[in-house]
């Protein structure tokens, strides 16, 4: 319950004044209601606090009312005329009272008769009973009772006579019911409190009525409204209107929202679909500023799923539906409201304008520039407040056109009719200053009073330069008559509101300057995306920049277009001025412009006031220079302006040639070539470039360039002559592959066949002649070669044939040599074969010799594959019987495509086995090279076993102790955690024990217990009541042997009591299977001075055996004590009754044997009962 500024002051007042109820007067009002008509009740409030009052108006004098609270202990006071007026009635709810006068009454609610208060919600109601008298019946015969049904349900009392009434219990105040008879013409009277109580409703079947108060109601049925009777059956039916009460978890529902977006503080409706169609539901909306929460309650929970709310920022909502019956809740999907604030055009409160009559649609289309919006006679504007043919709001729903300040805008307004053309005037307004009005300067754009046609009306309107930028509202009004202004109503016509977007023109800026004649000037504006440059003379340029070449001072105007399409105005264009300077005209004269290195030239400049030579940084009119390379000389001159005159002069310098020439040494018998460079032509003192002196000689060389410049000095070539050596060599024979020394002499070093060979050693592959030259210590080579002849014999072809080229470790390979006469192996073996057993990969070599002594060798590699390092593992050290062992094998080295073969026939790196006894498994690991190794693994099976003793037969009702051994912990039949268990089976039963042994293995064992049937022993006596000294016979049956508590061991005996008393006789009967049962009877012995015949009545119990209940027949009503025990003597039930008949419910008891002892003042008897 939520109420602003409500403060609760709770007083606990204890007051007792002669047990008379107080009359309460509360000061806090809450809730009101109009007094209902007869037979109707209404709610005063859904959340009264204890300590408040509600107001009830239009109460009718003489009518009987009922005031109720949903809290059964509440105290109600009724006052008339004022909140503290005269007390009409007071008491605990429901309070029934009769109005003494008509008018307004005040219903005070308190928690008790001491006017207690409590800030706790309770529902309060006021109901009005129907009037007694004609048209109502009072039946005195009762027949049948039914509980008031829940919402949507019904109840029936069958075979009511039309002179009887049926009782309805549990009627709910405020609930609406329908009473009917199976005979549709019957007349029905509804009363509350008693069969003669206040009339709630009366009428012909079916009769709908609302309960004024809760509690018992009485439905009387008669044949007609004059209370006719008939002793014939009809069904008295009652149905409660409304949805059935909720149960379990209610439906979550799908949350809905009337509008998902909108302006801040705009109202919208939250609701949900798919909710449970039940009563007893409450709905609590929650909100959050984030989808993930946290969520807080939005107001208080209510009985409806729909609420209206608003927000100023984007908010998420969800609905919590709670069933008050089950106290279970469910949460709907999440929805959101997004706040959008496009500005005053959409969200501001503009003055209303529109037609008061929807007879005609006037505006069919509005077009501004290329933007257009169409409508029809049947269309309704999408925005808030739109009314068909009267007002259309398109703000926020139609994309607005963009308008530029200081522009002229074309428009078209298409006017039409839906119900006839009667002449129209139209106006267009725009809120240029965005003040929410259309009354500012220039805000009336168009006002056309004449010449308006049915069709397109075109024109233009101006957008002022000082318009406020952004989105603003534009209003078009068409009226059959004069337009009253931007706001207000008119009879026929239409108003349409739109948004237009005022966008800013670009502001152009650029800088001017001055240039010297002939120099360009670059115009570089900013503020737009494209530019136009107005050039003096009328031409224009476009582009991001413009390069101009003014010949005189010039003014350039720059305009631009912004990214939004608006052009700059005269106020935002840029104006740039470029001024001109003048510069001097220079002249340079050179005495010579081209010459050989070492010469000079004179440069003379004129035409300015001052000069600066850039090359020498001198200021003179005449400059003498001797450049060493071709050089450009630049001179600038300054006159009367800042502009400089600049001129250049190029002097070409030809370089002198520099001659270089080679010198060298030659041996006798050789020539020398002189190779000069650095000039175009040369002069050699010897006359020729190739010389062959026999003694040391020098030569001079000069040169001339292509520019006819002569070298400044000559170059000298020196030629030195030294002697050459004379050679001697020897001839011989060798085996192929061996070397031969030619033994040359006469020189210092030697070359054989052109290759350097200091010792003259050669290795020919066939018979060969070698040309030998020699170089002396002076470096001279013999001019004539010496010839040495060497004869070559071929070597034998030796090969090795292996028995295999790859073996596993510990294996042997046989190597066989061929192609020679004798052999020598690298493993020191001789002969043509040898056996090898390497442990690692190895190479072997053999040398073979032929008859000439020539030899050759051969080698071969034997690959030794290592044995795989195979291992086998089990996934556990010890297994329980029945466990599956996971065996795995692997090879730690070498890696590769290894394979495994298990002794159980499996292949692969893993296998599973289920041995019943401990077993050793082997696996052969084979490497990718085919080498094998075996590994073993033990699967060790737990050998413990579980035994149970004894296996036996037991009598029904008896117990036996079963003991398990062989483990450490036990569980019998899944519950008993001990090694032994005491059982009392009622039928043949197999008991199972599960155990955990010291190895943590689970063991199970079972034992079968066979049930031996107990004998059904009965004890009878001729008379249960007798006189002293009389003879009476007692007999037992149903067993083989008997033993009485008197010591008698026969099946029957005779008693002759001498004293009056109650004697108890118990017999134990033993069957052939040694099972026993007992029976007990009592004999009442009196002195026979008088005895009630009731003492002789037989007590019976039936059915016996039974599954659900036993019925006890005791013959006559009296005080009886009943005690029900099980076979162990544990008391199951104790009861005291005063009837002759009684039922005992045994449905919840376990099957088995039970004993019922019945005791009265005169006798006591124990009966045997069997539950099956």
CA distance 148 to 87: 34
Q: Quote the Cα angle for 91-93-98, to 5°.
A: 65
More confident residue, 1088 or 1092: 1088
The string of pLDDT tens digits covering residues 976-995 is: 888 899 888 888 889 899 99
Residue with the two structure tokens 């074969």: 833
pLDDT single digits (tens) 465-520: 889 988 999 999 999 999 999 999 999 999 999 999 999 899 999 998 888 888 89
Task: Just give the CATH number of 870-939.
Answer: 2.60.40
Q: What is the pLDDT of residues 674-731, one digit of tens each?
A: 999 989 988 888 778 888 888 888 888 888 888 888 888 889 989 888 988 888 889 9
Looking at the predicted structure, is the pLDDT value of residue 273 above 80? yes
Give the lowest-confidence range in 159-173, 257-271, 505-519, 1088-1102. 1088-1102
Domains 254-339 and 799-865 share a fold: yes
CA 1046 to chain centre: 85
User: What does the pLDDT read at residue 1119?
Assistant: 86
pLDDT at 814: 93
Question: Measured between alpha carbons, how far apart are the two ends of the chain, in Å?
Answer: 57
CA 264 to CA 918: how far, in whole Å? 83
pLDDT of residue 444: 96
Indicate whether 438 pLDDT > 50: yes
Supply the CATH classification number for the domain 799-865. 2.60.40.10
Poorest-confidence range of 223-227, 696-700, 1089-1093, 1136-1140? 1089-1093
Q: What is the pLDDT of residues 23-41, one digit of tens each?
A: 899 999 988 999 988 877 7
5 has pLDDT over 50: no
Decide if 499 contacts 342 (C-beta within 8 A): yes
Task: Give the chain's radius of gyration (CA, Å).
Answer: 66
Residue range 947-1012, CATH number: 2.60.40.10
Sorted by where each begins, the domain ranges of the chain are: 28-128, 141-240, 254-339, 344-502, 513-580, 587-654, 664-722, 732-793, 799-865, 870-939, 947-1012, 1092-1172
User: What value does the mean pLDDT take over residues 752-768?
Assistant: 84
Reply yes or no on whether the pLDDT at 1090 is more than 70: no
Structure token pair of residue 818:
């061929």
Compute CA distances 395 → 767, 912, 966, 983, whole Å: 114, 79, 91, 88
pLDDT tens string 357-412: 887 778 999 999 999 999 998 889 998 889 998 999 999 889 999 999 988 999 99
pLDDT digits (tens, 9 = 90+) for 1019-1072: 998 887 788 888 999 999 999 999 999 999 999 999 999 888 888 899 999 999
User: Can you give the pLDDT at residue 897?
Assistant: 63
More confident residue, 20 or 1065: 1065
28-128: CATH architecture:
Sandwich (2.60)
Whole-angstrom CA distances from 1172 to 264, 542, 1146, 1149, 1151 are 76, 111, 10, 10, 5
Name the residue with higher pLDDT: 319 or 644: 319
Q: How many CB atoms within 10 Å of residue 175? A: 19
Q: What is the pLDDT of residues 889-907, one digit of tens each?
A: 988 888 766 899 999 999 9
Top-level class of domain 344-502: mainly beta
* Span 939-943, average pLDDT: 90
pLDDT in tens, 728-741: 889 988 898 888 88
Residue 541 pLDDT exceeds 90: yes
pLDDT 10s digits, 104-137: 999 999 999 999 998 888 889 888 887 544 478 9
Which pLDDT score is estimated for 141?
92
167 and 142 Cβ atoms separated by less than 8 Å: yes
What local confidence, expressed as pLDDT, does residue 1172 receive?
A: 86
Element (DSSP H or E) covering residue 900: strand 899-902
Summary count for the chain: helices (H), strands (E): 1, 100
Q: What average pLDDT is seen over the chain? A: 88
What per-residue confidence (pLDDT) applies to 645? 84
Specify the pLDDT at position 1088: 67
Phi-psi group of 930: left, alpha or beta (phi > 0 → left; psi -120 to 50 → alpha; rest → beta) = left
CA angle at 275 for the pair 271 and 277, rounded to the nearest 5°? 125
Which letter, b or e, does each residue of 976-987 get, where b requires 16 or more Cβ atoms within 10 Å of its Cβ?
beebbbebbbbe
pLDDT for 439: 93
Integer Cα distance of 684 and 687 in angstroms = 5
Tell me the CATH number of domain 254-339, given options 3.40.50.1820, 2.60.40.10, 1.10.10.10, 3.20.20.80.
Answer: 2.60.40.10
3-state secondary structure of 514: strand
What pLDDT, on a 0 to 100 scale, did the predictor assign at position 13?
27
Least confident of 60-74, 319-333, 803-817, 1119-1133: 1119-1133
Q: Say yes or no to pLDDT of 15 above 50.
A: no
- The total number of residues written for the chain in this structure: 1172
Calculate what percentage of the chain has a pLDDT beyond 90: 43
Share of the chain above pLDDT 70, in %: 97
3-state SS of 435-475 is: CCCCCCCCCEEEEECCCCCCEEEEEEEECCCCCCCEEEEEE
The answer, yes or no, to whether residue 265 has pLDDT greater than 70, is yes
* Matching CATH number, 587-654, of 2.60.40, 1.10.3470, 3.40.50, 3.10.20: 2.60.40
Q: Which of 339, 340, 500 is nearest to 409 (CA)?
A: 500
pLDDT for 334: 94
Class of domain 141-240 as given by CATH: mainly beta
1092-1172, what's its fold?
Immunoglobulin-like (2.60.40)
pLDDT of residue 134: 47
pLDDT band (50, 70, 90) for residue 271: very high
Contact 891, 870 (CB under 8 A): yes
160 or 8, which is more confident: 160
> Which of 9-13, 1116-1120, 1151-1155 has the largest mean confidence?
1151-1155
| Residue 2 in this model has a pLDDT that exceeds 70 | no
């Amino acid at each position: 319950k939520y109420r602003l500024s409500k403060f609760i002051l709770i007083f606990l007042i204890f007051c007792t004044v002669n047990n008379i109820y107080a009359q309460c007067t509360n000061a806090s009002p809450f809730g009101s209601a109009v007094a209902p008509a007869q037979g109707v009740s209404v709610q005063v409030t859904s959340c009264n606090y204890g300590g408040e009052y509600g107001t009830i108006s239009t109460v009718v004098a003489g009518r009987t009312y009922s005031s109720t609270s949903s809290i059964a202990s509440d105290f109600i006071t009724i006052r008339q005329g004022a909140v503290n007026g005269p007390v009409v009635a007071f008491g605990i709810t429901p309070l029934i009272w009769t109005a003494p006068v008509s008018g307004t009454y005040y219903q005070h609610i308190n928690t008790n008769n001491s006017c207690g208060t409590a800030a706790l919600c309770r529902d309060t109601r006021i109901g009005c009973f129907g009037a007694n008298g004609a048209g109502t019946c009072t039946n005195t015969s009762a027949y049948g009772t039914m509980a008031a049904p829940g919402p949507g349900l019904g109840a029936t009392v069958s075979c009511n006579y039309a002179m009887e009434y049926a009782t309805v219990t549990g009627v709910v105040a405020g609930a609406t019911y329908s009473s009917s008879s199976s005979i549709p013409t019957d007349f029905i009277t509804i009363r509350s409190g008693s069969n003669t109580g206040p009339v709630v409703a009366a009428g012909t079947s079916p009769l709908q009525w609302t309960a004024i108060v809760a509690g018992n109601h009485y439905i009387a049925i008669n044949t007609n409204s004059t209370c006719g009777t008939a002793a014939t059956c009809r069904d008295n039916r009652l149905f409660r209107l409304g949805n059935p009460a909720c149960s379990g978890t209610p439906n979550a529902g799908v949350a809905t929202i009337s509008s998902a977006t909108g302006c801040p503080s705009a109202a919208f409706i939250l609701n949900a679909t798919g909710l449970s169609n039940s009563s007893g539901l409450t709905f609590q909306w929650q909100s959050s500023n984030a989808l993930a929460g946290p969520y807080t309650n939005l107001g208080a929970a209510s009985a409806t799923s729909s609420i209206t709310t608003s927000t100023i920022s984007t908010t998420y909502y969800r609905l919590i539906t709670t069933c008050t019956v089950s106290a279970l809740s469910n949460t709907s999907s999440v929805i959101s409201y997004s706040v959008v604030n496009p500005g005053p055009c959409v969200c501001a409160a503009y003055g209303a304008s529109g037609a008061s009559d929807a007879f005609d649609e006037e505006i069919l289309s509005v077009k501004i520039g290329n933007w257009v919006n169409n409508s029809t006679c049947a269309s309704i504007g999408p925005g808030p407040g739109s009314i068909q043919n009267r007002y259309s709001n398109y703000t926020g729903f139609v994309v607005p056109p963009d308008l530029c300040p200081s522009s002229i805008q074309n428009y078209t307004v298409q006017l039409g009719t839906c119900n006839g053309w009667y002449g129209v005037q139209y106006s267009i307004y725009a809120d240029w200053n965005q003040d929410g009005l259309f009354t500012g300067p220039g805000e009336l754009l168009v006002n056309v009073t004449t010449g308006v046609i049915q069709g397109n009306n075109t024109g233009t309107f101006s957008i002022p330069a000082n318009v406020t930028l952004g989105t603003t509202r534009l209003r078009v009004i068409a009226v059959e008559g004069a337009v009253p202004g931007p706001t207000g109503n008119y009879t026929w016509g239409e108003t349409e509101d739109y948004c237009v977007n005022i966008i800013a023109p670009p502001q152009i800026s650029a800088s001017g300057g001055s240039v010297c004649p002939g120099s360009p000037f670059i115009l570089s504006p900013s503020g737009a995306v494209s530019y136009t440059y107005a050039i003096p003379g009328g031409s224009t340029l476009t582009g991001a920049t413009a390069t101009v070449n003014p010949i005189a001072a010039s003014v350039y105007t720059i305009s631009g277009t912004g990214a939004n399409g608006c052009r700059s105005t005269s106020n935002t264009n840029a104006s740039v001025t470029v001024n001109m300077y003048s510069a001097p005209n220079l002249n340079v004269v050179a005495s010579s412009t081209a010459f050989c290195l070492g010469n000079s030239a004179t440069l003379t400049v004129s035409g300015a006031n001052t000069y600066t030579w850039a090359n020498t940084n001198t200021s003179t009119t005449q400059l003498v220079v001797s450049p060493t390379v071709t050089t450009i000389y630049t001179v600038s001159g300054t006159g009367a302006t800042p502009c400089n005159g600049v001129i250049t002069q190029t002097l070409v310098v030809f370089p002198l040639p520099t001659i270089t020439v080679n010198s060298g040494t030659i041996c006798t018998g050789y020539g020398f070539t002189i190779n000069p460079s650095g000039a175009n032509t040369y002069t050699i003192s010897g006359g020729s470039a190739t010389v062959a002196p026999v003694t040391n000689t020098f030569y001079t060389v000069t040169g001339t360039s292509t520019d006819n410049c002569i070298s400044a000095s000559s170059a000298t070539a020196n030629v030195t002559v030294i002697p050459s050596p004379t050679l001697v060599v020897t001839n011989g024979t060798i085996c192929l592959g061996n070397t031969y020394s030619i033994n040359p002499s006469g020189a210092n070093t030697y070359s054989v066949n052109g290759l350097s060979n200091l010792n003259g050693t050669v290795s020919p592959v066939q018979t060969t002649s070698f040309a030998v030259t020699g170089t002396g210590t002076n470096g001279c080579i013999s001019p004539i070669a010496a010839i040495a002849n060497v004869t070559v014999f071929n070597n034998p072809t030796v090969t090795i044939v292996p028995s295999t080229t790859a073996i596993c470790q510990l294996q042997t390979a046989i190597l066989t040599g061929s192609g020679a006469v004798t052999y020598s192996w690298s493993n020191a073996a001789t002969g043509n074969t040898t056996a090898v057993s390497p442990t690692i990969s190895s190479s072997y070599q053999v040398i073979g010799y032929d008859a000439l002594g020539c030899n050759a060798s051969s080698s071969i590699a034997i690959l030794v594959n290592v044995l795989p390092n195979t291992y086998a593992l089990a996934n556990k050290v010890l297994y329980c019987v029945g466990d599956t062992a996971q065996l795995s094998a692997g090879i730690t080295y070498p890696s590769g495509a290894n394979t495994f073969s298990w002794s159980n026939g499996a292949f692969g790196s893993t296998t599973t086995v289920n041995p019943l006894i401990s077993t050793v498994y082997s696996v052969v690991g084979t490497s990718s090279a085919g080498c094998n190794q075996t590994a073993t693994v033990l699967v060790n099976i737990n050998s413990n076993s579980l035994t149970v003793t004894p296996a036996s037969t037991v009598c029904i009702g008896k117990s036996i102790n079963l003991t398990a051994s062989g483990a450490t912990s036990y569980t019998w039949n899944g519950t008993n955690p001990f090694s032994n268990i005491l059982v009392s089976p009622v039928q043949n039963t197999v008991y199972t024990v599960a155990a955990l042994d010291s190895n943590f293995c689970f063991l199970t064992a079972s034992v079968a217990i066979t049930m031996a049937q107990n004998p059904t022993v009965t004890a009878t006596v001729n008379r249960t009541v007798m006189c002293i000294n009389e003879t009476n016979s007692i007999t037992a049956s149903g067993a083989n042997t008997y033993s009485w508590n008197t010591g008698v061991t026969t099946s029957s005996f005779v008693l002759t009591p001498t004293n009056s008393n109650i004697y108890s006789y118990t017999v134990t009967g033993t069957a052939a299977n040694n099972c026993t049962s007992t029976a007990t009877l009592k004999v009442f012995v009196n002195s026979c001075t008088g005895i009630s015949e009731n003492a002789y009545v037989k007590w019976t119990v039936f059915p016996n055996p039974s599954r659900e209940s036993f019925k006890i027949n005791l013959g006559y009503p009296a005080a009886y004590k009943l005690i029900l025990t099980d076979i162990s003597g544990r008391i199951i039930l104790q009861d005291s009754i005063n009837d002759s008949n009684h039922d005992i419910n045994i449905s919840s008891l376990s099957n088995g044997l039970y004993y019922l002892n019945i005791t009265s003042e005169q006798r006591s008897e124990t009966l045997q009962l069997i539950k099956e």
